[in-house]
Copies of this chain bind each other. A is one copy, B any other.
Amino acid sequence: MNHRIISMQTYEHVRALPHRRPSKIRPMRRPHRPQETGRRTTKMVTLKDVAAKAGVSPSTASGALRRLSYVRPETAERVLKAAQDLNYSTNVSARALRSGRTGIFSLVIPTVDIPFYGRLVTAMEASVERHGYQLIIQQTRFEADRERQLIAQSDDTLSEGMFLLAAKTDSREVARLAGDHPTVMFEDYSTDIVIDSVNAPSTGGIDRAIRHLVGRGRTRICVAGATIPLHAMADVSSSSRARYERARSAVNAFDELGISGDCGAIDCDWVANGGTDVGHRIADTATGRTDDGRPAGLRYDAVCCMNDDIALGVLRGLADRGVRVPEDVAVTGFDGIPQGEWSVPSLTTIALDYEGMAETAVTMMLRKFGDNPVSMPQRVIAGFRLIERGSTAVSQ
C-alpha cells in the first residue's frame, strides 16, 4: 500500500464542483440603467471617485498618482491621500488599454524544475520586478510544438516582450515566429546574430575547467555530454549548438595543452541519468582491480562535464562502481547550481552569473523601447567564476 490518498472525499468533492467567472470583479452595470446597483458585490473605486474626493479632475488625479512633475505638490498630496482613504488601486486593464503598456513580460523556458532553469527564473523575476514589470512563466516542457506555439503566440497584447530559452527552435525560426514582438533569447549559439541574446560563457568556462584539471595534474580527460571528434552540425537547435560550442572549446584546450592523444569524450543526455551512465562506462574501462576490489587502470583520470546535472550523475555512477572521486577520477561541472555544494563529494564547477545574465537580458529588452533603439541585435556572454570543491581537491 504505497499509494495513499488522505481525505479523498474532500478532494473529490472539490474537483467535482462547477466553475464560472469571478464574482469578486464587479459585475457589469446594465448599460442602459446606469443607476442599477443590483447585486454587485464590491463597488470598485475608480479614479473618478478619487478625483472627486480630492476636488480635482480625473486627469489631474491620474497625473498625481503617476507622480508626473507638472502636478502641484499640494494637489498631488491631496490626491494621494484621497486614493489611500478610498483604498484605490488603479485598474491595470484600463491603463493598459489606453496607454498600450501592460507592464508584463513573458518568460518562455523548458521548465522551472531543473536547477539551471530554476536559478535563471529566480534571477529573472527579481530583475524584471526591479524594473517595474511582472513576469508570466510559460513552460515548453521541451516539446518542440509547444515551444513554437508559445513563441508565435507571444505576439499577443498581454506581454510587452518575451524572454526565451528555446531548446528546440533555431533563432532564425524564432525571429520568423515572433515577428516584431520584442524578444531576448538565452543560450542562442547560432553563428548568426539575428536576435538579442544572453549566453552562458560556454567557451571560456570549459577552457577554464580543463586548465584547472590539468593544473591538478590530470591529463587523461574525458568530456561528458559531447562528442569528439566534433560532429558536423546537422541539428541547429540551441541546445545542440551549446553542446557543439562547449565540445569545441574542450578540443581546442586539449590541442593547446598538447594532451589530445589521451583525452576523449562520452556523449549523453544533459541530465543526471546521462551522467550516471557515463560514470558506469568510465568505470568499465578498468583494466584491473585493486586489492580491495575497486576498478584500476582506468582510461581517464578526470571528467569534464558539460553541466552540473551530468556531473552529479557522474559522481553517482562512479560511486556505484567504487571509483573514488577525486582520488581516482576528478570531476568538474558547469553552471554552479546550489546542489553541487552538498553532493558527495562537493562539486568543482564553473559558476554562472545568473543575476548578471538576468539583469542584462532585461536591459536589452528595455532598450528596445527607448527613443533611439539600437539597430542591430547583440549577443552578450555572461561572466563566470571557477568554484573549487572536493571533486577536484587532490592533485596527481
A272 nearest in chain B by CB position: B342
Q: Indicate whether A380 sits within 8 Å of B10 (C-beta atoms), given known contacts A91-B97, A158-B92, A371-B20.
A: yes
Choice from B11, B112, B356 contacting A121 with Cβ under 8 Å: B112
Task: Report B-chain residues with C-beta under 8 Å of the C-beta of A342.
Answer: 272-273, 275-276, 312-313, 316
A158 to chain B, nearest CB (A): 5
Question: Roughly how many angstroms separate A118 CA and B139 CA in the complex, as a whole number?
Answer: 12
A21 touches B89 (CB 8 A): no
Task: Report B-chain residues with C-beta under 8 Å of the C-beta of A295.
Answer: none
Task: Report B-chain residues with C-beta under 8 Å of the C-beta of A378.
Answer: 10, 13-14
A338 touches B113 (CB 8 A): yes
A98 to chain B, nearest CB (A): 8
B100 touches A26 (CB 8 A): yes
Which one of A168-176, A213-221, A282-290, A359-367 contacts B? A359-367
Task: Report B-chain residues with C-beta under 8 Å of the C-beta of A137.
Answer: 121, 125, 135-137
Q: Indicate whether A22 sits within 8 Å of B101 (C-beta atoms), given known contacts A7-B381, A113-B118, A367-B17.
A: yes
Question: Roughly how many angstroms separate A161 CA and B21 CA in the complex, as a whole number?
Answer: 11
Question: Roughly how many angstroms separate A141 CA and B383 CA in the complex, as a whole number?
Answer: 24
Q: Which residues in chain A, 364-388, are within 8 Å of chain B measured between CB atoms?
A: 364, 366-371, 373-374, 378-386
Task: Report B-chain residues with C-beta under 8 Å of the C-beta of A129.
Answer: 138
Question: Roughly how many angstroms separate A381 CA and B13 CA in the complex, as a whole number?
Answer: 13
Question: Roughly how many angstroms separate A125 CA and B141 CA in the complex, as a whole number?
Answer: 11
A6 touches B383 (CB 8 A): yes
Q: Count residues of chain A with CB under 8 A from any CB of chain B.
A: 110
B111 touches A19 (CB 8 A): no
Question: Roughly how many angstroms separate A133 CA and B11 CA in the complex, as a whole number?
Answer: 22
Q: Which residues in chain A, 42-57, are within 8 Å of chain B measured between CB atoms?
A: 42
A344 touches B315 (CB 8 A): yes
Question: Roughly how many angstroms separate A204 CA and B5 CA in the complex, as a whole number?
Answer: 10
Task: Show 16 residue pairs from A and B whose CB-CB distance is below 8 angstroms, ordered by the A residue.
Answer: A3-B385, A6-B382, A7-B380, A10-B380, A19-B366, A24-B182, A28-B98, A89-B156, A90-B157, A92-B156, A92-B157, A93-B94, A96-B96, A272-B342, A313-B342, A339-B339
